Amino acid sequence: MFRRLFFGLLLTCAAVAGAEPEKSVVRITTFTQQPVFDAPWRFESVRRASGSGFVIRGKRILTNAHVVSWARQLVVYRYQDPRPYLARPIFIGHDCDLAVLEVENPDFFEGMEALEIGELPKVRSTVVTYGYPAGGEQISYTKGVVSRVEVQAYAHIGNRAFLAVQTDAAINPGNSGGPVIQDDKVAGVAFQGMSGLENAGFFIPQPVIQHFLRDVEDGKLDGIPELGLRLVALQNQTYRKFLGLPDNDLGARVDYLYPELSAAKVLRPDDVLLQAGAYPIASDCTIIYQGNRVNVSAAFGEYQRGEAMPLKLWRQGRETNVSVTFGSKRLDQAEGNQYVLPRYYIFGGLVFTPLSLDYLRSFGANWADATSAELRYELFFRRMETPDKARPEPIVLATILSHDVNANFSIRGRALIDSINGIRIEKMEDVVRAFESSTNAQDAIEFVTQHNLECLNHAEAKAANAGILSNNNIKQDRRL
């Protein structure tokens, strides 16, 4: 079972804060072009897709991040109005899959009223989705009930999980970014479904929306910060006894702390979190959040970067109160989904680019079969298992642009770089420095995989560079 995004076809409309939300819902047509991570100077062909959005305060449109990612052009349409308006994203929160757009022509908003963000809907209550899903050109409405409220993985970025609401209202491709309405207010933003489930769609609820909107109020997007801890259930009685905890259902155990993140400065392994803010934490890592039992991360999600969260914890046999200040979000370049053009550097036909999940995913749905185990290990395990050997930005030799100077390389790409000319490669700048400061006759490139060694004649490679770029229609030898 996996989550899928309901983008690819349309949605949204506007409404006066009264009985006509559809008038505030807009249809978004996008023309996207993704980079080719394996050949990072190139782009895939332009694709047309569509989604939905809706007007919010400040003459802006709220939609999903995945609707507008990699967009070369965004066109928005008003309710029952054929005129196209050009729009552009001003904030894209890839972690929470939300984006704010502005429209170039202010006339677009004439007569439209912002939809008001409502509350987290109750389970079993009724909601209506508004949007422009596949199957037609006009706005579509589907009605359903709120099935459950839980913390779910957000498919767009793939490695974060936040509060989400499941509904049986049909949410189809094109609904993405459209509002889910209850009592004429926005209860959420439709965003994804789950393969294998019937009559189940998911929307981003008010707490996550409000977090995002509050985040960008200062004109800067910080993203949803992470505490940087792995909390595990504490339901084994022996473990509870070992920690001196009362035999009740309170408290989840800190199992691992990510060294570079906030929690590591305050918490320790085997601390037991009893309460986060106002929320008592149960032994299965859940809290009661507005009547719903959800993962405790919903409580963490209420804080912005720089804000402090009071924590009550159990440490060494007694209760302690601490405060954790949320830092920046996880430094997860190595985990991909950054939605920025890939950095690259080309020398002697060798194309270097950072290792990322986006890079791996560019090899298709079966990317795990198309890439070496070393790349996957480096990306997903290295920093946790051997942090002293981890690199801030692992670099791969993505491919080789064939030329006499590199024709005898036995490694042709998709290989992790260990060092160049004796310089350990920790980030792209190291690659540039290693080649451009070289005074060696040969440039020696050592790979992590099997410790292979390949060399270039430095002078010949340098002389050939311009020709290689020209032959491959590459304007720049780098994007740093």
Partner 1 sequence: MRFFQRTGIREFWRVAVIAAAWLAIGQSGFAGAKAERSPWEDSIVTVEVTRRQYDFIQPWTQRNETYKKQGVVLGPNQILTTADYLNDLSLARLQKNGRGPWVGATLAWIDYHADLAVLTTTNAEFWRGLKTVSLADPAPTAGSLQIMRWRNGNLENRKGEIARLAVRRSRLSFIEHLTLEVDSEINGAGWSEAVTIGGKLAGLTTSQDGNNCLAIPAPFIKFAVQGATSNPRRQMGFFDFVWQKAENPATLAQLKLTGEPRGVIIIDKASGADKSGLLKPKDILLQIEGFKIDTDGNYTDPNYGQLLLENLSTRGKYAGDKVRLTLWRDGQQLEVAYPLPRAEYNVEMVPEEVFDQAPEYLVAGGLVFEPLSEPFLRSWGAEWKRKAPFRLTYFDQEKPSEERPARVLLTIVLPDPFNLGYQDYRFLPVDKVNGKIISRMPDLVAAFQQPQNGYHHLEFGPGESVRTMILEAASTEAATRRVMEKYGVPKEKVINQP
* Binding flag, residue 455, partner 1 (CB under 8 A): yes
- Lookup: tokens for 69: 């990612």
The residue count for binding partner 1 (CB under 8 A) is: 39
- Lookup: tokens for 151: 């913390």
User: Contact region for partner 1 (CB under 8 A) — 18-26, 124-132, 143-151, 404-412?
Assistant: 404-412
Taking the least distance from each CB to partner 1, the nearer of 451 and 475 is 451
Q: What is the largest CA-CA distance in the chain?
A: 76
* Binding flag, residue 419, partner 1 (CB under 8 A): no
Distance CA 204, CA 150 (A): 11
* Binding flag, residue 452, partner 1 (CB under 8 A): yes
Rounded alpha-carbon distances, angstroms, from residue 112 to 18, 78, 182, 297: 12, 9, 19, 36
Among 441, 463, 466, 480, binds partner 1 (CB under 8 A): 441
User: Contact region for partner 1 (CB under 8 A) — 45-53, 78-86, 184-192, 374-382?
Assistant: 374-382
Among 73, 159, 235, 472, binds partner 1 (CB under 8 A): 235
Task: Choose among 266, 261, 288, 292: nearest CA to 277.
Answer: 288
Among 73, 328, 457, 472, binds partner 1 (CB under 8 A): 457
Taking the least distance from each CB to partner 1, the nearer of 71 and 285 is 285
Taking the least distance from each CB to partner 1, the nearer of 142 and 399 is 399
Contact pattern for partner 1 over residues 73 through 112, marking x by CB under 8 A? ----------------------------------------
Residues numbered 311-370 forming contacts with partner 1, rule: CB under 8 A: 368-369
Residues numbered 255-274 forming contacts with partner 1, rule: CB under 8 A: 255-256, 269-270
Among 456, 464, 465, 468, binds partner 1 (CB under 8 A): 456
- Lookup: tokens for 177: 């970014």
* Binding flag, residue 423, partner 1 (CB under 8 A): no
Distance CA 98, CA 447 (A): 39
User: Contact region for partner 1 (CB under 8 A) — 14-22, 64-72, 190-198, 442-450?
Assistant: 442-450
Among 17, 33, 321, 381, binds partner 1 (CB under 8 A): 381
- Residues near 377 by beta carbon (within 8 Å), at least 6 away in sequence: none
* Binding flag, residue 239, partner 1 (CB under 8 A): yes
Inter-residue contact 252 to 296 (CB < 8 Å): yes
Taking the least distance from each CB to partner 1, the nearer of 16 and 444 is 444
40-60 CB burial, b ≥16 within 10 A, e <16: bbeeeeeeebbbbbbbbeeeb
Cα 267–Cα 273–Cα 274 angle in degrees, nearest 5: 145
- List, by residue number, the catalytic residues: 66, 97, 176
User: Contact region for partner 1 (CB under 8 A) — 9-17, 145-153, 288-296, 441-449?
Assistant: 441-449
CB of 105 to partner 1, least distance (A): 50
* Binding flag, residue 439, partner 1 (CB under 8 A): no
Amino acid at 351: V
- Lookup: tokens for 184: 């004429």
Taking the least distance from each CB to partner 1, the nearer of 234 and 287 is 234
Inter-residue contact 54 to 20 (CB < 8 Å): no
Identify each DSSP E strand in 318-470 by its residue range.
318-325, 344-347, 350-354, 395-400, 415-420, 423-424, 442-447, 453-457
- Lookup: tokens for 321: 């109160």
Inter-residue contact 205 to 120 (CB < 8 Å): yes
CB of 427 to partner 1, least distance (A): 23
At 79, is the secondary structure helix, strand, or coil?
coil
Contact pattern for partner 1 over residues 193 through 232, marking x by CB under 8 A? -------------------------------------x-x
User: Contact region for partner 1 (CB under 8 A) — 51-59, 143-151, 237-245, 350-358?
Assistant: 237-245
C-alpha dihedral sign at 321, 326, 327, 329: positive
* Binding flag, residue 159, partner 1 (CB under 8 A): no
CB of 465 to partner 1, least distance (A): 15
User: Contact region for partner 1 (CB under 8 A) — 102-110, 138-146, 315-323, 446-454?
Assistant: 446-454
Tell me whether residue 34 is exposed, middle or buried, using C-beta atoms within 10 angstroms of its C-beta: 0 to 12, 13 to 18, 19 or more. middle
CB of 71 to partner 1, least distance (A): 34
Distance CA 459, CA 461 (A): 5
H helices then E strands: how many in the chain?
A: 11, 30
Amino acid at 390: A
Binding site for partner 1 (CB under 8 A): 230, 232-239, 241-242, 255-256, 269-270, 368-369, 373-374, 376-377, 380-381, 384-385, 408-410, 441-442, 444, 450-457
